[in-house]
């Protein structure tokens, strides 16, 4: 997972119910589905961004506005752009997973089970190699808003994958034992927690690890019980076997088929697979948020002018006065983007099977931005 600057906010290749029967605070919103195909203006946006892409690349788009949602699907073919209905197709969303992990954390905070200011050293059953720096304890908030100072990826990840003969699947055997070894023996903080922004897969994975420790539930179970079940997101999971028959084959930079990644212990940072149809329900939930979702939307740290980080989300204050919630994700064979304008009650999801290392992967993110601007401009 690589992390471009805010213009695409792709997380690169590289949030909770306790197991006590408590009901979720909200259920799946009622969303009306509209069936019309793309307008002339939308076709122009699709053609501008998709025609330069390799054949076999497709996008599944959800245009959410108020209580309605439209789905548009498009594929680059040798003859141009083919439009079709792929709302139920499943794609990897990479680092967009982090906004779900952060929402699970926010649920626990709102229930009083956890505090964002709790030192991480008090939440794990062993001493951390580096529990803080310069007299400042590492906290859950630092992990969730990327101000922890933790490294982005596991040290030596790619070399290990090469030596163990799975270079195209670098996270394949990065299991809980290896993650715990890192926390005990290798973990270092690059700066004093809370003083800088530095995007970290390891930090958000530690959030998911702590949530599982505190609840006795797997990350997958927490997602299903805390988010996917209540929102009726039936095609969303971290487990490939559940959706294998609906997964769109990814296209790597070289044009070959990409393997689907098992993120293993780093699933909370990038392991979710979902559809545009499902993701639209999560976007709609942002418009009338419960207390947990509202917590994730609050900017917590200023990265640069008009650009902030929240819990999971990135926040962009645009020149026209609008505020967007944003996150991107990329995997070996996938690029995805979500942008949400809560005040205007509109949002756009674009899922694609183009690997984020492709030189034109930014086209997917630009399509998402263009489509949201188009939604905002409508009366």
Domain harbouring 124, CATH code: 3.40.710.10
Give domain status of residue 17, yes or no: no
DSSP secondary structure string, 84-153? E--TT-EEE-GGGHHHHHHHHHHHHHHHTS--TTSBGGGTSSS--S-SEETTEE-BHHHHHTT-S---SS
Q: Give me the phi and psi of 325, to 5 degrees please.
A: -90, 140
Smallest Cα–Cα separation from 338: which of 2, 118, 5, 11?
11
What is the C-alpha separation between 298 and 272, in angstroms, rounded? 23
- Average pLDDT over all residues of the chain: 92
Q: How confident is the model at residue 182 (pLDDT cuts 50, 70, 90)?
A: very high
- Within a domain: residue 295? yes
- pLDDT at position 12 is 44
Take residue 46 and report the two structure tokens written for it: 């699709």
With respect to residue 13, please indicate whether it lies within any of the assigned structural domains. no
Contact predicate 186/129, CB 8 Å: yes
Backbone angles phi, psi at 228, to 5 degrees: -65, -40
Q: Is 123 within 8 Å of 109 (Cβ atoms)?
A: no
- The pLDDT tens digits of the residues spanning 13-52 come to 343 222 333 333 344 555 566 556 899 999 999 999 999 9
pTM of the model: 0.91
Residue 165 falls inside a structural domain: yes
Residue 3 lies inside a defined structural domain of this protein? no
Please state at what angle helix 97-111 crosses helix 201-215, rounded to 10 degrees.
40
Residue 18 falls inside a structural domain: no
Q: Is pLDDT at 169 greater than 60 in this prediction? A: yes
Domain tally for the chain? 1
- The per-residue pLDDT for 253 is 81
In a domain, residue 27? The reply is no
Q: Is residue 330 part of a domain?
A: yes
Domain residues for the domain of 253 are 32-377
């Amino acid at each position: 997972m690589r992390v471009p600057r805010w213009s695409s906010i792709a997380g690169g290749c590289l949030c909770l119910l306790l197991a006590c029967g408590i009901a979720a605070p909200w259920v799946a919103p009622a969303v009306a589905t509209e069936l019309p195909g793309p307008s002339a203006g939308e076709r122009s946006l699709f053609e501008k961004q998709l025609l330069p892409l390799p054949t076999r690349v497709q996008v599944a788009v959800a245009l959410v506005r108020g209580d309605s949602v439209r789905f548009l699907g498009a594929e680059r073919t040798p003859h141009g752009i083919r439009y079709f209905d792929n709302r139920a197709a499943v794609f990897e969303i990479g680092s967009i997973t982090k906004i779900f992990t952060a929402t699970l954390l926010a649920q626990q905070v709102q229930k009083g089970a956890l505090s964002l200011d709790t030192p991480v050293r008090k939440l794990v059953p062993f001493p951390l190699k580096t529990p803080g720096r310069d007299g400042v304890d590492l906290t859950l908030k630092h992990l969730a808003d990327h101000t922890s100072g933790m490294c982005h990826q596991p040290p030596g990840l790619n070399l290990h994958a090469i030596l163990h003969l799975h270079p195209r699947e670098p996270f394949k055997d990065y299991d809980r034992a290896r993650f715990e070894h890192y926390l005990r023996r290798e973990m270092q903080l690059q700066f004093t927690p809370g003083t800088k922004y530095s995007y970290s897969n390891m930090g958000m994975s530690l959030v998911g690890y702590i949530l599982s420790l505190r609840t006795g539930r797997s990350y997958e179970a927490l997602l299903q019980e805390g988010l996917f079940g209540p929102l009726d997101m039936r095609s969303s999971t971290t487990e490939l076997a559940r959706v294998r028959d609906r997964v769109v084959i990814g296209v790597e930079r070289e044009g070959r088929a990409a393997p689907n990644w098992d993120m293993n212990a780093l699933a909370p940072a990038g392991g979710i697979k979902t559809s545009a149809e499902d993701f639209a329900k999560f976007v709609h939930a942002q418009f009338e948020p419960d207390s947990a979702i509202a917590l994730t939307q609050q900017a917590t740290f200023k990265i640069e002018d008009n650009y902030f980080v929240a819990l999971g989300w990135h926040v962009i204050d645009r020149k026209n006065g609008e505020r967007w919630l944003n996150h991107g994700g990329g995997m070996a064979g996938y690029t995805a983007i979500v942008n949400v304008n809560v005040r205007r009650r509109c949002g756009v999801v674009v899922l694609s099977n183009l690997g984020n290392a492709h030189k034109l992967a930014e086209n997917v993110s630009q399509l998402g931005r263009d489509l949201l601007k188009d939604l905002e401009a409508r009366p």
